[in-house]
Amino acid sequence: MQPSKIPFSQSFLAKKKIILNQLSIPISEYDDLSPKGSIDVDIRELIDEINHLEGCVTTSSCSGRISVFLEGKKQDDWVRLGGQVGEGKDRGESSSRQYEAQVVENERGGGKTSAGVGGKGGGGRWLFVTHNAVDISQHEGAGGLQKLLGMEDQDGGQSHGGGKRFIHFKFEPMILHILTASLEQAQVILSAGLQAGFRESGAVNLTSSNREAPTPMVAVRSMGLALESLIGFHADGRQVCTVSEESLRTLLEISNDRFRVNRNRIARFRELLIQLSTIDARPMGRDGGKEWEDAEMRKERKRAEGLRRKEMMKNTSDDHVVDPEDVVSLEFFP
């Protein structure tokens, strides 16, 4: 990526410096407000590569996860029981910086004091979180998956009537927020994300309210891979499972498959980002623009770029894993 003709804003440079200082802390000492408490190992190298690009810095990230979450008390119940502002916060992300962590949690509905739609806040908590595929074979036997996910059997005597706090099973693919120093850098990130299959990627802060250049925030994400199902409720201090072991197995098998698709998309994004960041690295002319090239030179350069892109896409294919976003119809089970 060539340096922008417009100097980077002081606010961008200050934020990047703070973030890089925080990331320089040894992994054994690093801590953030996510359930995991650190940056996901699977995307640590990707984070470092992005932060080495001029005009880019990551602000929050999650490599993808399976989670089971007990939603919090609804607002009326929380206030009645004495809940105070500021209690019950849980970021729910592997955020690379605490001061930016709220950005991602807002994406996924957290960071609230009392529970609203989505159920976070108000005493909600994680029962199970993993950033890797689950080895189902290690949890065979009666109630094995229920125990793994932090629940117990319903025993047939309890009802999930009004006012109950529900338990959600979720698979969420990678989500990555990148602060950029210019529209040019934002376009590179967006192009790589969209081409890699993160189809709901987008950007905000495209204009500036002062004389400094805008610093767009780019979100790289793919909602089509996400999966969510209600699998239980909270009653009398117990986390009660309301679906069968076979249903839990099916949810985990689907999520494991989507982990593979997600991992392949991350690899494509990484390769495309490197390619697009250097794709037009011709020498600069005297006037600060690109050095002139005739039609034949441009044709040959474009051909070489196309061949590199084709080879890269071939090498990072989904290894015959079906992409859930390409499936026309899906069956849903109770």
Condensed to tens digits (0 to 9), the pLDDT of residues 138-183 reads: 998 889 999 999 999 987 656 655 668 999 999 999 999 999 999 9
* Three-state secondary structure of the chain: CCCCCCCCCHHHHHHHHHHHHHHCCCCCCCCCCCCCCCCCHHHHHHHHHHHCCCCEEEEEEECCEEEEEECCCEHHHHHHCCCCCCCCCCCCCCCCCHHHHHHHHHHCCCCCCCECCCCCCCCCEEEEEECCCCCHHHHCCCCHHHHHCCCEECCCCCCCCCCCEEEEEEEECCEEEEEECCHHHHHHHHHHHHHCCCCCCEEECCCCCCCCCCCCEEEECCHHHCEEEEEEEEECCEEEECCCHHHHHHHHHHHHHHHHHHHHHHHHHHHHHHHHHHCCCCCECCCCCECCCCHHHHHHHHHHHHHHHHHHHHHCCCCCCCCHHHCCCCCCCC
Q: Are 95 and 85 in contact (CB under 8 A)?
A: no
pLDDT at residue 190 is higher than 80: yes
Mean pLDDT of 112-138: 76
**Mean pLDDT in residue range 270-284:** 74
The rounded mean pLDDT for the chain is 76
Say if residue 187's pLDDT is above 90.
yes
pLDDT of res. 289: 47
- pLDDT score of 325: 59
Residue whose pair of structure tokens reads 């299959």 in the numeric block: 197
Closest C-alpha among 270, 273, 96, 61 to residue 172: 61
In this model, does residue 28 exceed pLDDT 70? no
Amino acid 198: pLDDT: 96
In this prediction the pTM is 0.71
Which domains are present in the chain?
10-276 (3.30.1960.10)
Q: What is the pLDDT of residues 35-94, one digit of tens each?
A: 555 677 889 999 999 999 989 999 999 999 999 999 988 765 544 445 543 333 333 344
- Residue 85, pLDDT score: 38
CA 324 – CA 334 distance, rounded (Å)? 19
199-204 average pLDDT score: 95
